[in-house]
Amino acid sequence: MSSIIHSYCALESAINEIGYAAFFEEDSALYVNIQNRVYTLRKTIANWKTVSCIDKLLIIVESLSGTTIPNNQIDELRELNNLRNWLVHGFVFKSTVLLEQNPSESGTYTQVDREDSINWSQQFRLTKFNSIDELDVEDARKALIIVLRILQKIMGIENKPIILTNYIYGPCTSVFWPNDTLSGANMIDQHLAKALDKASANGPLGILDT
């Protein structure tokens, strides 16, 4: 849950930072002069605080690079955003569970089947996230990959590195540049391998800390 929530928060921060540089900070190298802003852009910027994170992302990329982000990546990001919102703000659904009594252990039951009031496969058609009460490490990995893919795009515009830090095996930081052409999955794998190597080099105490 922490990875899912905080990865999206990191993306929001990056988007707001580059948006500020592009439209509000006149000394920035990314600043888009008012004369070069079309009417719809000027109107959107006037209400910038109320614009959604994803809409900000699309506006920034189009204004600064003249390109777009593929629809499937945006749709994945929307699914991640929904999941993040449900985790942060709460989400109620009903589950009907079929239980079978364990003959070998009195008073205990095994879940045989379950039906929820929400169709998770439709909600997460592209990302295949699990239901919010059954999230696992693969869901966290999916969220990080989605965010890293978008960060590669916007950090490429700024020519800034993507910095990953974790404390799974003790403090470890990795720096990736957008033009490295690594996928989000490759970044995660390389970073965790580096963290594990670092922990191993520190001896038994480092491994114990895991």
Q: What confidence tens digit (pLDDT) does each residue in 101-130 have?
A: 898 888 898 888 889 899 999 999 999 999
* Rg, the chain, Cα only: 22
Beta strand 172-176 with 95-101 is: unpaired
Would the pLDDT of 205 be above 50?
no
Q: What is the pLDDT of residues 126-172, one digit of tens each?
A: 999 999 999 999 999 999 999 999 999 999 998 899 998 888 777 88
> Where residue 208 falls among pLDDT bands split at 50, 70, 90?
very low
pLDDT tens-place string over residues 48-65: 999 999 999 999 999 999
Residue 56 and residue 19 in contact, taking contact as beta carbons nearer than 8 Å = yes
pLDDT at residue 203 above 70? Answer: no
Kindly tell me the sign of the dihedral angle through the C-alpha atoms of 9, 11, 15, 21.
positive
pLDDT at residue 202 is higher than 80: no
Cα–Cα distance, 184 to 140 (Å, whole number): 13
Whether residue 65 contacts residue 57, with contact meaning beta carbons closer than 8 Å, is answered with: no
- Give first-to-last CA distance, the chain, whole Å: 19
More confident position, 168 or 27: 27
**Count of Cβ atoms closer than 10 Å to residue 129 Cβ:** 22
Q: Report pTM.
A: 0.85
Q: To the nearest whole percent, how much of the chain has pLDDT over 90?
A: 66
Tell me the CA distances in angstroms from 49 to 20, 53, 55, one per residue in order: 11, 10, 11
* Residue 170 pLDDT: 75
**Alpha-carbon distances of 134 from 114, 137, 138, rounded to whole Å:** 12, 10, 11
* pLDDT tens, position by position, 134-145: 999 999 999 999
The closest alpha carbon to 79, from 141, 116, 122, belongs to 122
pLDDT at 55: 96
Average pLDDT over residues 5-15: 94
Q: What local confidence, expressed as pLDDT, does residue 197 receive? A: 86
Average pLDDT, the chain: 89
Distance CA 177, CA 166 (A): 18
Ranking 41-45, 89-93, 173-177 by mean pLDDT, the lowest is: 89-93
| pLDDT surpasses 70 at 209 | no
